[in-house]
């Protein structure tokens, strides 16, 4: 699967970003290799729970980003238990910040301008309603 292959490469790049200045080439290879495996497992899990992520962005950026951040405490010049705990604290702090700020922003948008389109617009397609044209003229929804 070409998409999975390319996402594996991207996951490796994301994974090594946090500690690129601290890692040896062998550390970078190990982190990237593990990130590639993480992509496969995460995409399978996301598909299983039916979460809409058509390009694998959650697997590539969120999960491999977390892995790369934690890997700074496992590999490289600063590896060790104390560094790992610092990295884990950082991941937790970012998670709390992102969850709270996302909730505030989405709640505000939902109460003001809305964050969903109508059911009719969803069924007819947003290409018509947002852009005034059909992107896939031959595409039809099954009635069954």
Q: What is the mean pLDDT of residues 43-55?
A: 94
pLDDT digits over 1-17, tens only?
A: 899 999 999 999 999 99
pLDDT at 133: 81
The CA distance from 144 to 79, in Å, is 57
pLDDT at 43: 95
Tell me the DSSP string of 21-33: TT--HHHHHHHHH
What global pTM score does this model have?
A: 0.82
pLDDT at 144: 56
Band of residue 143 on the pLDDT scale cut at 50, 70, 90: low
The CA distance from 96 to 86, in Å, is 15
pLDDT digits over 81-126, tens only?
A: 999 999 999 999 999 999 999 999 999 999 999 998 888 888 887 8
Q: Any idea what DSSP says for residue 7?
A: H
């Amino acid at each position: 699967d070409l998409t999975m292959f390319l996402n594996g490469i991207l996951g490796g790049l994301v994974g090594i970003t946090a500690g690129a200045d601290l890692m040896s080439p062998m550390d970078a290879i190990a982190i990237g290799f593990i990130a590639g495996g993480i992509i496969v497992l995460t995409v399978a899990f996301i598909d299983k729970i039916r979460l809409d992520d058509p390009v694998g962005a959650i697997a590539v950026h969120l999960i491999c980003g977390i892995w790369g951040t934690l890997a700074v405490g496992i590999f490289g010049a600063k590896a060790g238990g104390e560094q790992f705990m610092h990295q884990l604290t950082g991941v937790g702090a970012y998670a709390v910040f992102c969850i709270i700020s996302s909730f505030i922003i989405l709640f505000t948008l939902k109460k003001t301008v809305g964050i969903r389109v109508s059911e009719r617009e969803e069924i007819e397609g947003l290409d018509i309603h947002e852009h005034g044209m059909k992107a896939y003229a031959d595409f039809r929804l099954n009635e069954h």
